[in-house]
Homo-oligomer: A and B are copies of this chain.
Amino acid sequence: MTRILVLNPNSTSDVTASMDAALDIVRRQDGVDIVCETLAEGPPGIETQEHVESVVLPVVRYFEARPADAYVIGCFSDPGLALARENLRKPVFGIAESAFHMAAGLGARFGIVAIKRGSIPRHMRNIRGLGLIDKLAGDRPLEIGVTEMGDAERVVGRIVEVGRELRDVDGAEVLILGCASMGGYRREIEDRLGLPVVDPTQAAVMRAIGHLTLGYGKAA
């Protein structure tokens, strides 16, 4: 059976559980074994560059020790993506890069709901680096910490506020939830704003299934 290993590089198991729940929709359609695991040694939330760098080697070592047909790095800063692709013989996907590609195919331009202001420059470098800058309508922050993302009412309210600006001021036709922990709110945001919303974890796993199905090897 095809096995896809999704690793949450932060140590908050609630976030892993949320990602795992969001992937049920993929499991229903496909007979693929999708496993979500937590990097115990990771920080509770990945918000600073220190956090990002601290998990790069642990993420890659984690993957190297566990066979799978494809790997997904479950953090919007895509930590360790380049190294994992160099070292592993199987395809590797970052959830941010995958979200950008999925959103590009869902509308003319997309908007990002960033978790904090400080992550916006990282998004910009990633999107420019991918040659997709023409598809970006806007990027605005929630200003809520990763470990507080369980407070549904507050979080949804803020995402809707930010999403409205991305849609009405910046002209976004698609929204990207800019953190693995936001995925559980996708449906509600779609209903409230009337736009397709990309959950990066879903985007990455679906992209992995696509590449595996069509027989694309490690190059991704």
Once bound together, how far apart are the Cα atoms of A108 and B131, in whole Å? 8
List the 10 shortest-distance A-B pairs measured between CB atoms, nearest first: A131-B134, A125-B129, A49-B86, A101-B105, A29-B213, A206-B210, A49-B83, A129-B129, A128-B128, A53-B83
- Kindly identify which residue among B2, B50, B109 contacts A87, using a CB–CB cutoff of 8 Å: B50
In the bound complex, how far is the Cα of B124 from the Cα of A131, in angstroms? Answer: 10
Which of B48, B98, B106 meets A86, CB within 8 Å? B48
A156 located at the interface, meaning its Cβ lies under 8 Å from any Cβ of chain B in the complex: no
* In contact, B29 and A53 (Cβ under 8 angstroms): no
Contact code string A118-129 (vs B, CB < 8 Å = 1, else 0):
000110111011
How many angstroms from the CA of A98 to the CA of B211 in the assembled complex?
A: 14
13 of the cross-chain contacts (CB-CB < 8 Å) are A29-B209, A29-B213, A31-B31, A48-B86, A52-B83, A54-B57, A98-B105, A105-B207, A106-B211, A126-B129, A132-B132, A173-B219, A207-B210
Chain B residues with CB under 8 Å of A97's CB are 105
Complex: chain B residue closest to A203, CB-CB: B214
A106 in contact with B29 (CB, 8 Å): no
- In the assembled complex, which residues on chain B have CB atoms less than 8 Å from the CB atom of A122? 82
**From DSSP, what is the main secondary structure of chain A's interface residues?**
helix
Q: Which residues in A have some Cβ–Cβ distance to B below 8 Å? A: 2, 25-26, 28-32, 48-50, 52-54, 56-57, 60, 80, 82-83, 85-87, 97-98, 101-102, 104-109, 121-122, 124-126, 128-135, 173, 196, 199, 202-203, 206-207, 209-217, 219-220
CA distance A53 to B109 in the complex (A): 25
Q: Contact: B101 with A124, CB < 8 Å? A: no
Cα distance, A98 to B214, chains bound together (Å): 14
List chain B residues, Cβ under 8 A from A53: 56-57, 60, 80, 82-83
Contact among B26, B60, B131, B210 with A109 in the assembled complex (CB-CB below 8 Å): B131
Nearest residue, chain B, Cβ from A82: B49
With A50-B86, A104-B104, A121-B108 in contact, is A214–B129 under 8 Å at CB?
Answer: no
Contact A105 B29 (CB under 8 A): no
